[in-house]
Amino acid sequence: MFFKKKAKLLLALWILLNTTYAYGTTSFTARNKDEFNQAMIYALNQRIESFKIYVTFAYVSQITDLLNEALLFVKCKDPYTFFNLSGYTANFKYYPNQPGILLTLTFEYLTTKEQEAYVEEKTDLILSNIIKDWMTPYDKIAAIHDWVVKNISYDETLTMYTAYDALSKGKAVCQGYSLLIQKLLQKAGLESIIAEGYSRDLPHSWNMVKLCTNEACQWFHLDATWDDPVEDYPGRILRMYFLLSDHQIEKDHEIDDTCGIKATETLEEFICETSSCLPEISIKSSLQADFFISYTEFPIALTMQTSSNTPGDYFLWCDTPVGTFWFTLNGWVKSDSPIAAYTGEALNFDNLVLFYLNPQTLPKGAYNFFFAFDEIPNGRLDFPRSEACQSVGTP
DSSP codes of every residue in 289-301: GGGGGG-S-EEEE
Q: Are strands 101-109 and 171-172 parallel, antiparallel or unpaired?
A: unpaired
pLDDT at res. 19: 26
Per-residue pLDDT tens, the chain, 395 aa: give them: 444 444 333 333 332 222 233 333 488 999 999 999 999 999 999 999 999 999 999 888 899 999 999 999 999 999 999 999 999 999 988 877 667 899 999 999 999 999 999 999 999 999 999 999 999 999 999 999 999 999 999 999 999 999 999 999 999 999 999 999 999 999 999 999 999 999 999 999 999 999 998 889 999 999 999 999 887 777 889 999 999 999 999 999 999 999 999 999 999 999 888 777 888 888 887 544 444 444 567 788 889 998 878 899 999 999 998 899 999 988 899 999 999 999 999 889 898 888 888 777 888 888 899 999 999 999 999 999 999 998 887 76
- End-to-end Cα spacing for the chain: 29
Distances (CA, A) of 185 to 114, 252, 302: 21, 24, 31
Query: CA-CA distance, 166 to 195, in Å (whole number)?
Result: 19
Single-letter amino acid code for the residue at 187: K
Length of the chain: 395
What's the pLDDT score for residue 286?
A: 57
Distance, CA of 106 to CA of 207 (rounded, Å): 28
Give the fold, CATH level 3, of 112-274. Answer: C8orf32 fold (3.10.620)
* φ, ψ of residue 218 in degrees (nearest 5): -150, 145
Architecture of domain 10-109: 2-Layer Sandwich (3.30)
Instruction: Name the 3-class secondary structure at 281.
Output: strand
- Which H or E element spans position 264? none
CATH match of 277-395 with 3.30.420: no
Q: Under DSSP, is residue 180 helix (H, G, I), strand (E, B) or coil?
A: helix
Domain ranges in the chain are 10-109, 112-274, 277-395
Where does residue 323 fall: left (phi above 0), alpha (psi -120 to 50 degrees), or beta otherwise? left
User: Residue 315 forms beta bridges with which residues?
Assistant: 372
223 in Cβ contact with 253 (< 8 Å)? yes
85-94 sheet: strands from edge to edge = 10-15, 85-94, 101-109, 50-55, 27-30
